[in-house]
A and B are shown apart, each in its own frame.
Chain A
Amino acid sequence: MQASDRFNINSQLEHLQAKYVGTGHADLNRFEWAVNIQRDSFASYIGHYPMLAYFAIAENESIGRERYNFMQKMLLPCGLPPEREDD
């Protein structure tokens, strides 16, 4: 990257993107990405009422319970992060 590129719109774009939770970067590992995916998924389930209702019927739970469960799962959706083998 040239010196002039550092200040143009594209670098700003990346900076802008970085402000959103859930965006990624070149050093993201499998675990971190999976956590984002899981959280997005749960948020999406909760956000779409028909989805919640569908899951509720499938699991024979109340919709509120489902919502609560999803919310809880968002805390540690993939369990504890794996120990880093490298570096």
Chain B
Amino acid sequence: MDDEIAKTQEERKRMQQEIASLDSVTYDRDLYGGTDRDAYVTSIPVNDEDDANNDAMNSEVVRKLSYTAPKNVYDNLPRGGADEDNSSGFLKPSNKIIDREDDYRRRRLNRVLSPDRHDAFAAGEKTPDPSVRTYADAMRQQALEREEEETLKAIAKKKKEEEEAAKAEGGSKRRNRWDQSQDGGAAAAAAPAAKKAKATSDWDLPDAAAPGIGRWDATPTPGRVSDATPSAGRRNRWDETPTPGRSADADATPSGGATPGATPAGMAWDATPKGLATPTPKRQRSRWDETPATMGSATPMAGATPAAAYTPGVTPVGAIDVATPTPSAINLRGAITPEQYNLLRWEKDIEERNRPLTDEELDTMFPLEGYKILDPPASYVPIRTPARKLLATPTPMGTPLYQIPEENRGQQFDVPKEAPGGLPFMKPEDYQYFGALLNEDEEEELSPDEQKERKIMKLLLKVKNGTPPQRKTALRQLTDKAREFGAGPLFNRILPLLMQPTLEDQERHLLVKVIDRVLYKLDELVRPYVHKILVVIEPLLIDEDYYARVEGREIISNLSKAAGLATMIAAMRPDIDNIDEYVRNTTARAFSVVASALGIPALLPFLKAVCQSKKSWQARHTGIKIVQQIAILIGCAVLPHLRSLVEIIEHGLNDENQKVRTITALSLAALAEAAAPYGIESFDSVLKPLWKGIRSHRGKVLAAFLKSIGFIIPLMDAIYASYYTKEVMVILIREFQSPDEEMKKIVLKVVKQCVSTEGVEADYIRSDILPEFFRNFWVRRMALDRRNYKQLVETTVEIANKVGVADIVGRIVEDLKDESEPYRRMVMETIEKVVANLGASDIDARLEELLIDGILYAFQEQTSDDANVMLNGFGAVVNSLGQRVKPYLPQICGTIKWRLNNKSAKVRQQAADLISRIAVVMKQCQEEQLMGHLGVVLYEYLGEEYPEVLGSILGALKAIVNVIGMTKMTPPIKDLLPRLTPILKNRHEKVQENCIDLVGRIADRGAEFVPAREWMRICFELLEMLKAHKKGIRRATVNTFGYIAKAIGPQDVLATLLNNLKVQERQNRVCTTVAIAIVAETCSPFTVLPALMNEYRVPELNVQNGVLKSLSFLFEYIGEMGKDYIYAVTPLLEDALMDRDLVHRQTAASAVKHMALGVAGLGCEDALIHLLNYVWPNIFETSPHVINAVMEAIEGMRVALGAAVVLNYCLQGLFHPARKVREVYWKIYNSLYIGAQDALVAAYPTLDDEHNNIYSRPELVMFI
């Protein structure tokens, strides 16, 4: 007894933990509107597990880190869209991309648009200009960052060790934090020095500094308004604490420029802005760059002003943290956990940035001599538009002195300035990019370059915010003038826009489209910008929106075709071993797109080199990941290269780094999945390491290895598959007990794959797998997690396919009576699928009894809303048992009847739904009496007030009527139908649909049981149904008209319908015309035509058009039957084709078309030519619908009369003096020509020879 209690308690505790952990997982999803990270992941570790650098940084910190910072700022940002929404009283869900992104995806904002790269192709033999960033620079910078990262890690480690040592040393004597921090500081300060000595060559790069400027003006990183100047602020805090989790930003700032000694003699403003952040402050700093401190915050705009290339940028800030550590920084020196560290770092960032930098501070920072204060360069321009100044600087960067603002009378403070010159509305966040467009006064003074920029800006603004026509023309202009504008100016404008944090989906789509078009035009000119483009496009590859991903792929594919493989590799190579996992991940995906665009063989040598990189495990990891992504992207097209791809990555299975081993296994899994069911021979070489691996590894690596085995086994021949399955099963069964969710899912998946393989015997599964499988997996806990649930059901169904129904159902049938409802549902779903797949013939009498009992229990006990599982399960089991259900039917029906009377609407609905599922089986069991009884019961419930339930009841009645027929139905049809007539008035869709189906069925099969008068009443109700939104309802209604007309004769129905032509509503009239046509079709046209044509005499547009439309449909439906009626309706059509009203002519033309097509070849040419003469004058109509109908009528005539006749009509206008006439005639000629080219040969006019040109066709006059 005690044992049991203890067990239950433990169980409960586990459940609670489970729930708690579920909570924490879903936590940020709730906040961010449900971005499901998992939905994306194609392999196990993409984010968290795979994160190379944030081992120490747990997810909670990541979350805190990024939702505090950006959120704060975003909330403060003025948002046009949101305000508008509020004012209208509705809160629309935000469509900003950022709002649905998770933290991982948001890391895209941390990336920096790197400066233009050197284009080796364009430069030819020339040595690259030192100011241009070359591949070597990029690589060097990359190396530098890595080194920095490693140093920081080492420092962190050391500190930790020291601390532990200290702790161990004296438990009683607590060390003062301040001491520690000094120690830490000392250690940190020592580190860069050591590093400097070690890596002199790196430090002394002559030109590394130069790109820095370019970078700053090239990278208005709007995304960073929150951490505006992220790089300057964070870079090179050598003396700061280690940053194990720095990955997010570290990559963001190419640190090539961060070399303290780099440009000793250079002027500060032209040296790297970041250099200042280094421990050895720059001596030669000129003071003047402290003043426009606003500029610092205005970084995003740096690119916006043409002169920005000369603005000093953000420098001042970085220096602060060297001189006076903020309290938080001091704290950092102490013992900290990485989480704390990250939190504090963020705090510090904000505080620092809000801190003004005074002259005194600068004085203390700089030595007294050794530098001079320079004048600002002539081209330096302060921010021109105050409006931008207001908006672009959410955090004042600390203007040290108050400056009297320049007076600008044109400035408006609250109202956004009207955009001049027909420009579209600008959202507040657009000002920082497009603000310059607002002051037009200086237009003439601008240099040609500036004018060009301005032009680009205008076009982009139109594309981004304009109306569709504006957008279209702007897009076209951008495309046409792309080469004229040049790649540089274009991309420098477009790309920053794409980094805007408030970007919406639509805007991004448009901008990406611009890039696509421009790319196409620029072709090889894009080379220097490849990396920049990739920085903004790569995030699209992991977007949750499918179309964004496709768009991203398309761009990258076009880009690689334009730039060429060499350039692509040069651009992306440095990112391959970037320290940030995010960068590597997106780069790998981008590389896979390049591979699919340029062909895998082209990329193979490079991949091989990368995967064998000795320098860093990150490079190997990314290389292998590229292979994985290639497999995922191009699917079975990997087959020709399978062997080489496997060879490239196989050594990764024995890599020293665990992450590399994991990704290798995952890549193999992806390759095997893509290649299935072929290509096993390519995997020969990896089988052994894989099998060795599963014995020696544990945890994640093991999971990955198992996954790859799971995908490889199905490729094998039966014998091998069975052998290997037995081998791996030992491990799998051991891992059945693993508490790790990920492992569970993989194990289930692998079991499913192994079991479904050919060579695996049912007996083996039964004896070796089933007991453990059911013991470990068929537990209540598995039903709680959606993914586990699905995977378990799938696996079990797969096992059932091998071992049969009885084994599986027998094991779980008892659980249908389990006390946990989710678990019962899982059991039910499994039984449903198994039984639906395999039938119920295996099930013996005892099991059958248990099954029905269990199902009834589960059905009755269900409480949750997700009811369909139980319903489907019940239906599937009953249907597969067939006649064997007979003994249980009374019991089932009893349950149903009881539940039809239940208080809860849901229960009643389920009961009614169940009837419609089992009606067929009841008929099979000859339980007609029972069905009749149920029919009466249902009939009594027709007064149901819940529409959902009423719809189900009607559906159940329909099912019963369908199986037992009209005559045997109880209640008799003549009682049932009058009861349905009022229900037809119900406006609920489900009710309408079921009701009209039932009525239509009765009208079709049992019309004679109901008096004509009742049918007429129904006809009136049906007219209302033509208004329904759902097409299915309207179609059923129209068909019902046909049945009714057939039953009671067309006259009365027709009269009703013709009257309905007078109503105003178009949809109603259209449906009425269709109904008339159907009535005419079912009751023969001659019963309808006279009345219809008579109706044409009513002098009312709608009616006449309705009649014409009916005729059009009528002739469409009756096809060649039309030949008997064509002469009758010709006078009417004549009149219509001569009517002043366009719609008359249009509709008449389409009637003529259908008529002509119907009677082609039936000898009605005389009437048709007559009609053609009336149609022909309409060819000059311009209204699109009319001209369409006329052209189609002429096409119809071509079919019916032959091309020659129509050609004769055509010839008169082909060379008409008026161009407008010629155009129309040539259009007709062309469609004639395309439709019947060959037939025209005999009909062409005889042309006489001219001078030396032979136009005659003598062959045609030959005669024997």
Contacts and interface: CB of A to CB of B under 8 A. Distances in A.
A22 B1252 CA distance: 22
A5 B1253 contact: no
Interface string B1243-1262: 01001001111110101101
B1231 interface: yes
A72 interface: no
A5 B1219 contact: no
A40 B1262 contact: no
Contact of A78 (B1188, B1255, B1262): B1255
Given A9-B1184, A22-B1233, A31 B1253 contact: yes
B172 interface: no
A78 B1253 contact: yes
B38 interface: no
Contacts of A41: 1241, 1244, 1257, 1259-1260
Contact of B1227 (A14, A22, A38, A57): A14
A23 interface: yes
A47 B1230 contact: no
Contacts of A40: 1237-1238, 1240-1241, 1244
Contacts of B1226: 24-26, 28
Contacts of A22: 1233, 1237
Interface string A12-35: 011001001011111010110110
Contacts of A5: 1182, 1184
B475 to A, nearest CB: 14
A37 B1238 CA distance: 11
Contacts of A1: 1182
Given A17-B1234, A22-B1237, A23-B1230, A79 B1262 contact: no
Interface string B489-523: 00000000000000000000000000000000000
Report the contact-size class of chain B (Cβ under 8 Å from the partner): 35 or more
Report the contact-size class of chain A (Cβ under 8 Å from the partner): 35 or more
B1255 A24 contact: no
Contacts of A13: 1191, 1227, 1231
B404 interface: no
B483 interface: no
Given A20-B1234, A23-B1233, A55-B1262, A44 B1241 contact: yes
A9 to B, nearest CB: 7
B5 interface: no
Given A20-B1233, A23-B1233, A24-B1226, A77 B1252 contact: no
Contact of A17 (B1215, B1230, B1247, B1252): B1230
Contacts of A79: 1252-1254
Given A13-B1231, A55-B1259, A59-B1262, A82 B1247 contact: no
A31 to B, nearest CB: 6
Q: Is the interface of A mostly helix, strand, loop or mixed?
A: helix
A80 B1260 CA distance: 23
B1264 A58 contact: yes
B1103 to A, nearest CB: 29
B1041 to A, nearest CB: 32
A82 B1253 CA distance: 8
Interface centre among B469, B1227, B1231 (most CB of A within 10 A): B1227
A55 to B, nearest CB: 6
Contacts of A31: 1253
A33 to B, nearest CB: 8
B1184 A57 contact: no
A68 interface: no
B1263 interface: yes
B16 to A, nearest CB: 62
Contacts of A75: none
A5 B1227 CA distance: 16
Contact of B1214 (A17, A24, A34, A77): A24
Nearest to A48: B1238
Nearest to B1257: A41
Contacts of B1233: 20, 22-24
B1257 A23 contact: no
B434 interface: no
B1165 interface: no
Contacts of A28: 1226
A10 to B, nearest CB: 6
Contacts of A58: 1262-1264
B1188 A9 contact: yes
A13 B1235 CA distance: 13
Nearest to B1242: A44
A77 B356 CA distance: 86
Nearest to B1252: A79
Nearest to A70: B1259
Contact of A34 (B469, B1253, B1262): B1253
B1223 interface: yes
B1229 interface: yes
A57 B1237 contact: no
Contacts of A44: 1238, 1241
A51 to B, nearest CB: 8
Contacts of B1234: 17, 20, 23
Interface centre among A8, A58, A78 (most CB of B within 10 A): A78
Nearest to A33: B1214
Given A23-B1230, A55-B1259, A58-B1264, A8 B1238 contact: no
B1187 interface: yes
Interface string B1209-1233: 0000011000100110011011101
B911 to A, nearest CB: 52
25 contacts: A3-B469, A5-B1182, A5-B1184, A13-B1191, A17-B1231, A23-B1229, A24-B1214, A24-B1233, A26-B1222, A30-B1247, A31-B1253, A37-B1244, A40-B1237, A40-B1238, A41-B1241, A41-B1260, A54-B1262, A57-B1264, A59-B1262, A78-B1253, A78-B1254, A79-B1252, A80-B1252, A80-B1253, A82-B1250
Q: Return the 7 tightest CB-CB contacts between A and B, nearest first.
A: A17-B1230, A26-B1222, A23-B1230, A44-B1241, A58-B1262, A34-B1255, A26-B1223
Given A13-B1227, A23-B1230, 14 more contacts: A3-B469, A13-B1191, A20-B1230, A20-B1234, A24-B1229, A30-B1255, A31-B1253, A34-B1255, A37-B1247, A40-B1241, A45-B1259, A57-B1264, A59-B1262, A77-B1254
Interface of B: 469, 1182, 1184, 1187-1188, 1191, 1214-1215, 1219, 1222-1223, 1226-1227, 1229-1231, 1233-1234, 1237-1238, 1240-1241, 1244, 1247, 1250-1255, 1257, 1259-1260, 1262-1264
Interface of A: 1, 3, 5, 8-10, 13-14, 17, 20, 22-26, 28, 30-31, 33-34, 37-38, 40-41, 44-45, 47, 54-55, 57-59, 77-80, 82
